[in-house]
């Protein structure tokens, strides 16, 4: 019941549309009732030998009611789609905003395919409950009240019967809900899991083919798909069980109403005119209930998906926004790490332990260490994808937790090892850093990043579609676009997270040249894989197993730090073996 109420709250954001939908439903039912009443009166007039003009008047009103009902039904169909689009957009927007607030830390614990299924197909499934079932509930309550009172005035027994059948039709589906809900939750979980596996296979297609296991993986997916289909059909009988009961109730209610009315006419309790009205009106009284039953059945999946929606919406935001609005006093600002410790989960081992670093204003500071030593974790903490467990990170002397997240991240430009490009044009991807940038500024940033030349050789130049994840470009080209993006952002702090580790020597030289340009007059933090790129750093920190084991210039560390010496020797050996 709680999730019903929480879902209904989304309708509060579109009260006007909800009211119009209810009014449309009531108007259509009113036309149906008017049609039934006029037919009954017309037939009665024929049997009573009334004048032809009087009978034709009833038939004309009946015909007009039919045309109006058809027009209203046609309009309602279009209006329902518009209303559905609006409420689904509201839900998706709420989810996306929450996911953005939760940040990468939440996404890392979830399968992308599951979240993708929830925000696309899952949200679609709310349409039946919110846009059709809930407004129809209001329509049913009003029409049941009206039809019960009116039919009671004609025959009290028929009025009571209609009311009882209506109550049964509303209550019975909720009695079946626990069993049906279990089945539909399992269906949705299986669907989301299957969707995740398909996405994994599509994204990893090149890897599967290179390993020669694409057919094997395809066969596995096929078997799972058919197993899912068989399970879905088996569960269909359970989910349709309440529909059969409700259809039976409405059919029995209609037939019994007419039978009771006919009996009462036979014993002289009511007139045959009233019998005809009951004959035509009893069926129309049950139609809104049948429609509500169909909408309820279509709502099962949405009600099951609601658990996943509220799981996201209720997830506590661990990284809270700061409130300091003061501007930084130093340009570029310095960064200090004060005795910070961090682990990725309560049961996990410490990734960083009592780390102290001083990243001086306008200087280049490098952080080196073996894989898993905690280098990239420092970048995640600086960007506040996570918060430190203890200690603090200071920006210009202030704890970064005190700054608004948007303001903090606006002061930091990052070039990651794996550059993520979005589906769209080259220009759109560069403008991600500054959507208001002029075309001339985009081109200038590309030139500084040594990207302009290869962009001009693309089929549509800056308007070339790069494909999903930048699939149509090489690794070096993607990296240079990422650098252009960082240059266009023009943030005072530049973070280079192993920016040249996954490219060839030619691209590395071009990228390093571009990086040297964009580091000018910036506080630069370099997470280094190839140590040759940081020999001229103002200061180098050496990490080992989450702890700082030394710092100084390249020359100083070569003289007195065995960990740094080991890293240099290992790299030289690897390069000689190529």
Return the pLDDT at 182: 66
* CA–CA dist 530, 535 (Å, integer): 10
Return the pLDDT at 408: 84
Instruction: Profile the chain (578 residues) by mean pLDDT over runs of 10 residues.
Output: 76 88 91 84 74 81 88 90 89 84 69 70 82 88 85 82 80 69 67 68 62 68 73 64 72 81 80 78 81 79 76 77 68 86 79 88 85 83 86 86 84 80 84 84 84 84 77 77 84 78 57 71 80 78 85 84 79 57
Cα dihedral value 68, 69, 72, 77, nearest 10? -150
Return the pLDDT at 38: 82
Cα dihedral value 41, 46, 51, 53, nearest 10? 60
Based on its alpha-carbon atoms, the radius of gyration of the chain, rounded to whole angstroms, reads: 34
Return the pLDDT at 320: 74
Inter-axis angle of helices 505-518 and 475-489, to 10 degrees? 0
| Helix, strand, coil share (%) of the chain residues, nearest 5 | 70, 10, 20
What tokens appear for 491 in the block?
């943030």
Beta strands in 273-372 (DSSP E): 335-342, 352-359, 364-369
Return the pLDDT at 564: 80
What tokens appear for 22 in the block?
């209810």
Rounded to an integer, what is the distance from CA 330 to the centroid of its chain?
Answer: 39
Return the pLDDT at 23: 92
392's enclosing H/E stretch is strand 390-395
* 3-state per-residue secondary structure call for 111-154: CHHHHHHHHHHHHHCCHHHHHHHHHHHHHHHHHHHHHHHHHHHH
What tokens appear for 307 in the block?
């658990």
C-alpha dihedral sign at 322, 97, 13, 5: negative
What tokens appear for 137 in the block?
């509930």
* CA–CA dist 321, 405 (Å, integer): 6
Return the pLDDT at 313: 81
Return the pLDDT at 270: 78
* CA–CA dist 469, 475 (Å, integer): 11
Inter-axis angle of helices 15-48 and 272-314, to 10 degrees? 170
Return the pLDDT at 238: 60
- Reported pTM: 0.72
Maximum pairwise Cα distance, the chain: 119
Please name which of 290, 285, 182 lies closest in space to residue 243, comparing C-alpha atoms.
290
Strand pairing of 398-399 and 390-395? Answer: antiparallel
Is the distance from CB of 527 to CB of 380 less than 8 angstroms? no
* Residue 374 φ/ψ region, left for φ over 0, alpha for ψ in the -120 to 50 degree band, beta for the rest: left
The one-character DSSP state at 425 is B
Strand pairing of 335-342 and 390-395? Answer: antiparallel
Return the pLDDT at 75: 92
């Amino acid at each position: 019941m709680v999730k019903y109420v929480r879902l209904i709250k989304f309708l509060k954001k579109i009260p006007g549309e909800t009211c119009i939908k209810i009014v449309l439903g009531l108007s259509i039912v009113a036309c149906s009732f008017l049609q039934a009443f006029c037919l009954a009166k017309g037939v009665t007039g024929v049997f009573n030998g009334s004048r032809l003009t009087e009978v034709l008047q009833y038939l004309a009103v009946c015909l007009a009611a039919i045309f109006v009902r058809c027009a209203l039904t046609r309009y309602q169909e279009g209006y329902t789609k518009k209303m559905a689009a609006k409420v689904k957009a509201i839900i998706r927007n709420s989810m996306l905003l929450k996911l953005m607030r939760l940040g990468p830390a939440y996404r890392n614990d979830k399968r992308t395919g599951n979240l993708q299924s929830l925000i696309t197909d899952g949200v679609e499934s709310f349409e039946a409950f919110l846009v059709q079932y809930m407004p129809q509930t209001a329509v049913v309550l009003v029409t049941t009240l009206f039809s019960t009172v009116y039919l009671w005035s004609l025959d009290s027994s028929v009025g009571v019967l209609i009311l009882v059948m209506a109550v049964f039709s509303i209550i019975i589906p909720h009695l079946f809900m626990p069993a049906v809900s279990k089945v539909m939750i399992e269906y949705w979980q299986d669907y989301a899991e299957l969707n995740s596996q398909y996405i994994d296979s599509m994204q990893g297609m090149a890897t599967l083919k290179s390993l020669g296991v694409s057919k094997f993986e395809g066969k596995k997916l096929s078997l799972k798909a058919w197993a899912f289909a068989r399970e879905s059909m088996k569960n269909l009988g359970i989910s349709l069980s309440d529909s059969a009961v409700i259809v039976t109730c409405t059919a029995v209610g209609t037939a019994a109403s007419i039978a009771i009315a006919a009996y009462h006419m036979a014993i002289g309790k009511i007139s045959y005119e009233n019998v005809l009205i009951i004959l035509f009106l009893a069926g129309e009284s049950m139609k809104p209930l049948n429609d509500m039953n169909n909408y309820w059945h279509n709502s099962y999946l949405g009600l099951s998906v609601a658990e996943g929606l509220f799981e996201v919406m209720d997830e506590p935001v661990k990284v809270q926004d700061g409130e300091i609005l003061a501007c930084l006093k130093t340009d570029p600002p310095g960064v200090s790490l004060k005795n910070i410790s961090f682990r990725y989960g309560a049961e996990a081992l410490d990734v960083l332990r009592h780390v102290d670093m001083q990243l001086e204003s306008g200087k280049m500071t490098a952080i080196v260490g073996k894989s898993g030593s905690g280098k990239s974790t420092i970048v995640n903490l600086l960007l506040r994808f996570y918060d430190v467990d203890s200690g603090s990170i200071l920006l210009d002397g202030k704890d970064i937790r005190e700054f608004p997240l948007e303001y903090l991240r606006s002061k930091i430009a990052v070039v990651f090892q794996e550059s993520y490009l979005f589906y769209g044009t080259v220009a759109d991807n560069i403008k991600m850093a500054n959507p208001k940038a002029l075309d001339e500024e985009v081109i200038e940033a590309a030139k500084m990043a040594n990207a302009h030349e290869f962009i001009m050789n693309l089929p549509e130049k800056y308007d070339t579609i790069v494909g999903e994840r930048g699939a149509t470009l090489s690794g070096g080209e993607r990296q240079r676009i990422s650098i252009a993006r960082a240059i266009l952002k023009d943030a005072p702090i530049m973070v280079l997270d192993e920016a040249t580790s996954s490219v060839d020597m030619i691209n590395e030289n071009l990228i390093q040249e571009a990086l040297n340009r964009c580091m000018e007059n910036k506080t630069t933090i370099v997470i280094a894989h190839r140590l040759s790129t940081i020999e001229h750093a103002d200061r180098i920190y050496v990490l080992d197993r989450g702890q700082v084991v030394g710092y100084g210039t390249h020359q100083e560390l070569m003289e007195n730090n065995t960990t740094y010496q080991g890293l240099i020797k290992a790299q030289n050996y690897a390069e000689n073996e190529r």
